């Protein structure tokens, strides 16, 4: 029996450029893929952290991503998040390929955000504020500038050196960019440093790509018409956005079922009585189909990451490879 082919990170990125990832995700939804039908991911607590299993299936393919989260790894010089993806034939369930799971996550997460922004944000959106300075933050810069005329980027991070490094990478892309810093923990109810507050207030797009468990900025700073994407948390008690912003906003989620189980940005305001589940304007399929009408306030897309997204992008990588 021949060895299962393995597509490493560089291969996945080469086979499925960001624009292609956005396109295949939209094609899948337009073809009838129902995000609500995706199995919820089991989360297994382990002595060293957590193991997440993300299965999904279509008629042509099935797949599962196994992701480990080890909070102690950075101190060892190892990645906090690691993972592998296995792709199977949809009819026979024969293994077809393995690939770098983190490369898939790094690609599909900003691609999903870009797909939502394409259908939710103001057409002329050019000023982007990014909270975070890691791979997802940079991925969102690349993805959002692919669907909107982004020209100006403000990177907001806790580590000044990392934030400036990301800002420099943005300048290398021909963008105007600067780095700002916030305290280690800045709850949304307290004042931000004035330069950060001004940047948020002037933003057309805000991308929240952090491991924060408390709101990153006071929601009252977000102007009407701004589009805010929050991708950093997938736990019911963790959130990057405060209840004020969520209550004012037209809120779109990947899937209602997943959001009401995993998205603290939605769950916490519901528990506190700020909103009800009926406040959600629709899921990603509703948005693509034109069934979501943005109100006069901010627009919010809350992502927790779903297995169907990995499967769609993994299938595109495999088909491009073969």
pLDDT digits (tens, 9 = 90+) for 203-262: 999 999 998 989 999 999 999 999 999 998 888 899 999 999 999 999 999 999 999 999
For residue 91, what are the contacts with CB-CB under 8 A and spacing of at least 6?
Answer: none
Q: Alpha-carbon distance 213 to 238, whole Å?
A: 4
How far does CA 276 lie from the centroid of its chain?
23
> Between 79 and 98, whose confidence is greater?
98
Q: What are the CA-CA distances from residue 111 to residues 26, 105, 280 (Å)?
A: 10, 10, 21
Helix 307-321 to helix 18-30 angle (10° resolution) is: 120
Region for residue 49 given its phi and psi (left: phi exceeds 0; alpha: psi -120 to 50; beta: otherwise): left
Task: Give the up-direction half-sphere exposure of residue 132: CA atoms within 13 A in the CB hemisphere.
Answer: 21
* Exposure string over 210-246, b if 16+ CB within 10 A, otherwise e: bebeebbbbbebbeeebbbbbbbbbebebbbbbbbbb
| pTM assigned to the model | 0.93
Q: Kindly give, in sequence order, each residue whose CB lies less than 8 Å from that of residue 105, ignoring residues fewer than 6 positions away.
A: 65, 67, 81, 83, 305, 310
DSSP string, 296-308: SS-EEEE----HH
Taking the C-alpha atoms of residue 218 and residue 47, their distance in angstroms, rounded to an integer, is: 35
Q: Evaluate whether the domain defined by 110-306 bears CATH number 3.40.50.300.
A: no
What is the model's pLDDT at position 200? 97
Please report, for the chain, the start and end positions of each structural domain, with discontinuous segments joined by +. 6-104+309-321, 110-306
Top CATH class, 6-104+309-321: alpha beta
Share in percent of the chain as helix, strand, coil (round to 5): 40, 25, 35
pLDDT in tens, 156-202: 999 999 999 999 999 999 999 999 999 765 544 457 899 999 999 99
Strand partners of residue 56: 63
Reported as a single tens digit per residue, the pLDDT across 251-308 is 999 999 999 999 999 999 999 999 999 999 999 999 999 999 999 999 999 999 999 9
How sure is the predictor about 42, in pLDDT bands with cuts at 50, 70 and 90?
confident
pLDDT at 12 over 50: yes
pLDDT at residue 183 in the model: 79
């Amino acid at each position: 029996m021949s060895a299962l082919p393995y597509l490493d990170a560089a291969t996945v990125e080469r086979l499925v450029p960001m624009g292609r990832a956005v396109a295949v995700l939209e094609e899948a939804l337009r073809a009838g893929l129902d995000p609500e039908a995706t199995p919820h991911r089991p989360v297994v607590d382990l002595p060293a952290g957590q193991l997440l299993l993300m299965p999904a299936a279509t008629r042509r393919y099935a797949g599962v991503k196994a992701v480990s989260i080890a909070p102690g790894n950075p101190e060892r010089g190892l990645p906090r998040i690691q993972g592998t993806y296995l792709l199977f034939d949809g009819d026979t369930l024969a293994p077809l390929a393995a690939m770098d799971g983190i490369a898939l996550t790094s690609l599909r997460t900003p691609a999903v955000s870009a797909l939502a922004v394409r259908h939710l944000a103001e057409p002329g959106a050019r000023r982007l504020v990014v909270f975070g300075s890691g791979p997802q933050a940079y991925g969102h810069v690349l993805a959002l500038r692919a669907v909107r005329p982004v020209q100006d980027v403000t990177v907001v991070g806790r580590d000044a050196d990392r934030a400036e490094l990301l800002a420099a990478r943005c300048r290398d892309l021909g963008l105007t960019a600067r780095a700002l810093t916030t305290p280690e923990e800045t709850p949304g109810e307290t004042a931000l440093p004035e330069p950060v507050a001004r940047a948020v207030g002037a933003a057309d797009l805000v991308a929240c790509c952090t491991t924060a468990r408390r709101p990153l900025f006071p929601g009252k700073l977000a102007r009407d018409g701004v589009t805010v994407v929050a991708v950093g948390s997938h736990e019911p008690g963790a959130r990057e956005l405060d209840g004020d912003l969520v209550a004012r906003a037209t809120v779109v989620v990947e899937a209602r079922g997943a959001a009401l189980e995993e998205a603290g940005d939605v769950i916490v305001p519901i528990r506190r009585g700020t909103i009800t589940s009926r406040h959600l304007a629709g899921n990603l399929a509703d948005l693509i189909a034109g069934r979501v009408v943005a109100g006069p306030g901010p627009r919010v897309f809350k992502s927790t990451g779903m297995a169907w997204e990995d499967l769609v992008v993994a299938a595109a990588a495999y088909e491009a490879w073969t």
